[in-house]
Structure 1
Amino acid sequence: MNNLEYETLNDTENLELNDLNEVRPNTSKSKNETGTTISSIITLSNTLLGSGMLAMPAALASSGLCLGIINIAVFGGGALFGLWLLTRCATYTGRNSSFFSLSMITFPQASIFFDLAISIKCFGVSVSYLIIVGDLMPMVTLGLFPNTPINSVLLTREFWITVAILVVIPLAFMRKLDSMRHTSFISLLAIVYLLFIVVYYYLVPFNASNDIKESEIKLSRRNINSEMNSSYPQVSPKIEYFIFSMDYFKNLPIFVFAFTCHQNILSVYNEMKDNRQKNVNKIITSSIVFGMVLYWIVGICGYLTFGDKTESNIISMYPSTSNIILFGQLSMVIMVILSYPLQMFPCRLSLDKVFYNLKRIINRNNDAQSLLNPNATSLISGSTNGGVSPHSQQISDKKFFFMTLSILICSYVLACSVETLGIVLSIVGATGSTMICYILPGLLYYKLEKENTRNNSRKQSNTIYAALFMFIIGIILMIVCLLSIFLL
């Protein structure tokens, strides 16, 4: 790329490409630009880590130790490249960047599908968080209060999912992503503690078969926690290094899912105080490398501990016979509750764009609602005449309230209905995660940069073809994984 067109030339003037042929300084400063490098890394890392970390040992168990390690490196590198492509695309729309605004200057008629994919992915992750709460809290309750009657409402997953929804309501109604930077730091501490548990009980295993509390056995029989392994640890866990089977593709989306934080990168880009490319590169590289290291450690230690018996929620496999494990399970509950709003933010924005597009489709015969209306064009031209396109405005208070409430209710109902974490992560990973991790970054960058090089008579760089290749790989990955999930 031509750095003269894209990057800041000095420390005081931030240049953004708001037109395919023109560079102008970004003079718009607002109170929304509060994100620092550290807070942005924390926010992006917290979006990255979560359910995928709990399922990573199971992902290694499905692919084998060595192949799993390679998969983490490959999919981590792919996610990093996708994030970089999106931030380069963001220079076309400046601090109004979103998947919607980018689709409006590339494939306006398909923008509804772009935002629908993002909303599905974020909604699916939110559901997985509530499922984790429902799985772990009955175990925590019995660990803390072993005399709790087995028929108590405190041992039902529905009760704790309800409590989780009530807790996240204040956080879910926050309008700014950077407002979550403090809670994001707390949830990262929970991630570190999970790391400690998995590593510690791999290095210092104990035989819990004789120490399982009677209440936990009752809980297992009641099928509240069907994944409890009362024989932890196995004497000789079965470890394989390479596994080649069609079942491998069922769990392959977990690797994609684990590195998906792309739904929040444009919001992070918009809110950064200094969003020059070198600072953005620092944020995305730090977040992905941090995630890769943690996934390697947790995945390897967890798989080596349980072998082929590894389940999709690694923390639920440790019996609650130790306060260390109890606190770890409680920490994971706190982490997913605090991470829920990070999925709510992009889900709500994307749904707003979906509804906006539906309204335009219904009013297709009205020229003012056409796909190429002047308001949409203003995103490209960077008009400073005071006119703002409808989709770049903040969501009205009334719409914001009802959309947030609807997402909360729907995720609550679905979480109470679905009990298996692994299948949720696989489906979400194969659809929404693959779309926003590989397909959209590759497609958007290819379209924008190809048009820009043609208008400026510049030679196309190899990055354009790399982006196209990433788009094709994403399509193939989605088709193969979905077929494996639903047909095998």
Structure 2
Amino acid sequence: MQAPRGSILAEPGWYISAQQPEETAAEEWSPLLSNELHGQGSPGVSFGFSVFNLMNAIMGSGILGLAYVMANTGILGFSFLLLLVAFLASYSVHLLLSMCIQTAVTSYEDLGLFAFGLPGKVVVAGTIIIQNIGAMSSYLLIIKTELPAAISELLPGDYSGSWYLDGQTLLIIICVGIVLPLALLPKIGFLGYTSSLSFFFMVFFALVVIVKKWSLPCPLTLNYIEKFFQISNATDDCKPKLFHFSKESVYAIPTMAFSFLCHTSILPIYCELQSPSKTRMQNVTNTAVALSFLIYFISALFGYLTFYDKVESELLHSYSKYLPQDVVVMTVKLCILFAVLLTVPLIHFPARKALMMILFSNFPFSWIRHSLTTLALNIIIVLLAIYVPDIRNVFGIVGATTSACLIFVFPGLFYLKLSREDFLSWKKLGAFILLITGIFVGNFSLALIIFDWSHK
């Protein structure tokens, strides 16, 4: 590969900017220490807030679908797949950080430019835009469907028909009053406080799922007008399955990939990290992925052990069905809705950045362009949230396509393209496995999902 103009070859087989100091060849040097990126006198974002921001990017509405995935894969099958996806997500971040350090590139889009020229940059930016729009719309879909129900449960009388029980009206008000102002902030680090609040809401949700395991009988019953109607007499319905496969299992890997995708936020968070280095950012990533894995697994396990095969594709629906007037459940609903809501502004940052890199890459920063782009993205995700009928559709399609590309395909492909290490080196073999895994998972999952839809 011919070196780009103004670049020199770095050890072991990378190109770095000739304008950077000699220590750029060292693995721990970070081009993100420049005043342009951190700002004059800015100390950067602390390790803890960076972890919270990354966890907020990882965790969102995906946590509500994992109990359903466990019901269709079994406890051991789910555990293996979730651990595998978490490891691959962390490893792909490792490859991204290695490439960014060695090439002095500070964005996912520029890695595409460095590897495959302008087409590579456009493809990466387009994938980021599509994936983040899909993610944000799915989060807002949760708000639209669950918030009116949560509010109505808190009200003593019948207020049906009121504007504050209309999901579309509430969605528009929330996006204008909360999402848009937070998304307009100039730096992603400013969301550290809201991200920490979102994290504690997720922990509270996991704790409630654990406690409510012992609040419902098995077989499950519905309580209508002081009479109990047993849903099933089969005691086998109360036995957890270690391995299970059904037609719904095709959503397992896409949903997990969607649930661990944080790669579009990695480099924006890295750019604002205090004392940035590859090791420090990798520690941020490993900590965030490990904590997210723990909360995901606990929520899925106890959600599944509560409802077994009766668990619905969105866990909150199950609690609404069997514990409609439970105060703790009503409280945790509001908490999880608020946590999901606070994730949306964080996802706005990489989506807006990718869109502006395509449309206005040669223009200086402008608050007008910044605001109009943010507003346009807000309008798009609100419209999608209003018209997408089933959250599982978002998980399946987005997870099988864009999420697979951003987690598996692009990091592996770019590393194979940019690195001059021997192909039998561990990193290149890992990158190749990551690439093949992404291609297989994406295409296989998408084909099965389309097949499933065609037979409904």
Taking structure 1 as reference, are residues 25 and 316 closer, same or farther at Cα in structure 2, changes over 3 Å only?
closer
Partner of 1:355: 359
- Three-state SS of the structure 2 residue aligned to 1:272 is coil
Q: Which amino acid is the alignment partner of residue 100 of structure 1?
A: E
SS class of match (2:161): coil
1:189 Cα offset (Å): 1.3
- Correspondence for 1:323: 327
Equivalent position of 2:198 in the other structure: 187
**CA apart distance, 1:243:** 2.1
Query: Given residue 199 of structure 1, which amino acid in structure 2 is its aligned partner?
Result: I
Give the letter aligned to residue 56 of structure 2. Answer: N
Question: Match of 2:4?
Answer: none
The secondary structure found in structure 2 opposite 1:34 is coil
Report percent identity of matched pairs: 24
Q: Does 1:98 align with 2:107?
A: yes
Distance 1:341 1:394, change over 3 A: farther
Is 1:17–1:24's contact at 8 Å kept on the other side of the alignment? no
2:59 is equivalent to residue 49 of structure 1:
yes
Aligned to 2:129: 119
3-state DSSP class of the match of 1:210? strand
Aligned to 2:222: 209
Q: For each residue in 1:250-306, what CA deviation from the matched residue of structure 2 results, as whole angstroms up to 9, or x when unmatched?
A: 332001111111110011111112122221221111011111111110111111111
Superposed CA offset, 1:360-398 (max 9, x none): xxxxxxxxxxxxxxxxxxxxxxxxxxxxxx46x764222
Q: Please say if residues 86 and 260 of structure 2, whose CA atoms lie closer than 8 Å, have aligned partners that are also in contact.
A: yes
Structure 1 residues 459, 433: CA separation in 2 closer, same or farther (over 3 Å shift)?
Answer: closer
Distance 2:73 2:13 in 1: 44
Does the alignment pair 1:415 with 2:357?
no
Alignment match, 2:18 = none
- Alignment of 1:480 with 2:444, yes or no, is yes
How much is the aligned-residue C-alpha RMSD, in angstroms? 3.0
Unaligned runs of 5+ in 2: 1-9, 15-20
Q: Tell me, yes or no, if structure 1 residue 154 matches structure 2 residue 164.
A: yes
Count of matched residue positions in the alignment of Structure 1 and Structure 2: 423
What TM-score, normalized by structure 1, do the two folds share? Answer: 0.80
Tell me the equivalent position of 1:28: 34
Deviates more, 1:400-409 or 1:157-166: 157-166
Check the 8 A contact 1:212/1:321 in 2, yes or no: no
1:76 aligns with 2:82: no
| Cα separation, 2, equivalents of 1:27 and 1:418 | 42
Larger mean Cα displacement after TM superposition, 26-35 or 436-445: 26-35
How far apart are the structure 2 equivalents of 1:337 and 1:55?
17
Contact 1:212 1:230 in 2 (8 A): no
Counterpart of 1:291 in structure 2 is: 292
Aligned to 1:378: none
Is the partner of 2:222 in helix, strand or coil? coil
Q: Deviations over 1:95-118 (max 9, x none)?
A: x51112111211112221111111
Task: Please name the residue that 1:377 is paired with.
Answer: none
Once residues 230 and 270 of structure 1 are traced to their aligned partners in structure 2, the CA distance between those partners, rounded to angstroms, is 56
Preserved contact between residue 412 and residue 432 of structure 2 (Cα < 8 Å) = yes
Instruction: Write the deviation string for residues 282-335 of structure 1: whole angstroms up to 9, x where unpaired.
Output: 111101111111111011111111111211221232133122111100011111
Equivalents in 2 of 1:296, 1:116: separation in Å? Answer: 32
Give the aligned partner of residue 155 of structure 2: 145
1:217-240 Cα distance to aligned partner (Å, 9 max, x none): xxxxxxxxxxxx9979x9844633
Q: Which amino acid aligns with 2:383?
A: V
Question: Do the aligned partners of 2:197 and 2:339 also contact (CA within 8 Å) in 1?
Answer: yes
C-alpha contact (below 8 Å) 2:13/2:419 kept by paired residues: no
Do the aligned partners of residues 245 and 324 (structure 1) sit closer, same or farther apart at CA in structure 2, a change above 3 Å counting? Answer: closer
Alignment of 1:273-352 (within 5 A): 273-319=274-320, 320-352=324-356
CA contact (8 A) 2:56 2:195 kept: yes
Paired position in structure 2 for 1:270: 271
Amino acid paired to 1:339 = T
Contact 1:100–1:111 (8 Å) recurs in 2: yes
Deviates more, 1:134-143 or 1:24-33: 24-33
In structure 2, do the counterparts of structure 1 residues 439 and 25 end up closer, same or farther at CA, with 3 Å as the change threshold? closer
Partners of 1:117 and 1:400 lie apart in 2 by 20
Partner of 2:71: 61
SS of the equivalent of 1:184 reads: helix
> Residue 62 of structure 2 aligns to a residue in which SS?
helix
Q: Which amino acid aligns with 1:479?
A: N
TM-score for both structures, normalised by structure 2: 0.85
Amino acid at match of 2:109: F
Deviation at 1:467, TM superposition (A): 0.3
Alignment CA distance shift 1:70-1:14 (3 Å)? farther
